[in-house]
Amino acid sequence: MSAIIVKELTKKFGEFTAVDSVSFSVEPGELFGLLGPNGAGKTTIINMLTTLLLPTSGEAEIAGYELGRDPDSIRTNIGIIFQDPSLDIGLTGRENLEFHAMMYNIRSEERKKRIQEVFDVVGLTDKAEILVENYSGGMKRRLEIARGLIHYPKVLFLDEPTLGLDAQTRRSIWEYIRNLNRNYGTCVILTTHYMEEADFLCDRIAIIDHGKIIALDTPSGLKSRLLGDCVSLTIEGRVDLIATALGEKEWVREVISDGKTLDLILSDYEKNIPDIFQTASNLGVGISSINFSKPSLEDVFIRLTGSIIREQEGSRKSVRQERMRRRMLR
How far, in Å, CA of 313 to CA of 291, rounded? 23
Residues 139-190 pLDDT 10s: 998 999 889 889 989 999 998 888 877 888 788 888 878 887 887 788 999 9
> Cα angle at 91 between 85 and 94, to 5 degrees?
95
Residues 40-80 pLDDT 10s: 999 999 999 999 999 999 999 999 999 989 999 999 999 99
Task: Give the β-pairing of 261-266 and 229-236.
Answer: antiparallel
229-326: CATH class: alpha beta
Q: How many CB atoms are located within 10 Å of the residue 86 CB? A: 12
How far, in Å, CA of 50 to CA of 62, rounded? 9
C-alpha Rg value of the chain to the nearest Å: 24
Q: What is the pLDDT of residue 307?
A: 62
Residues 254-302 pLDDT 10s: 888 877 888 888 888 888 989 999 999 999 999 999 988 877 888 788 7
Amino acid letter, 123: G
Which are the contacts of 84, defined by CB distance < 8 A and separation ≥ 6?
A: none
Q: What is the pLDDT of residue 17?
A: 97
Under 8 Å between Cβ of 4 and 206:
no
How far, in Å, CA of 171 to CA of 113, rounded? 28
Closest CA to 78 of 25, 144, 153: 153
Under 8 Å between Cβ of 143 and 124:
yes
* Residue 317 reports pLDDT greater than 70: no
Which are the contacts of 70, defined by CB distance < 8 A and separation ≥ 6?
A: none
Long-range contacts: 163-171, Cβ < 8 Å, 24+?
A: 163/83, 163/193, 164/137, 165/137, 165/138, 165/141, 166/138, 166/313, 167/313, 169/136, 169/137, 169/138, 169/141, 170/194, 170/197
Q: What is the mean pLDDT of residues 188-213?
A: 93
Under 8 Å between Cβ of 330 and 228:
no
Residues 4-32 pLDDT 10s: 999 999 999 999 999 999 999 999 999 99
Which are the contacts of 117, defined by CB distance < 8 A and separation ≥ 6?
A: none
Residues 98-118 pLDDT 10s: 999 999 999 999 999 999 988
Assigned CATH for 4-221? 3.40.50.300
Residues 204-249 pLDDT 10s: 999 999 999 999 999 999 988 776 788 889 999 999 999 999 999 9
Q: So where are the chain's domains? A: 4-221, 229-326
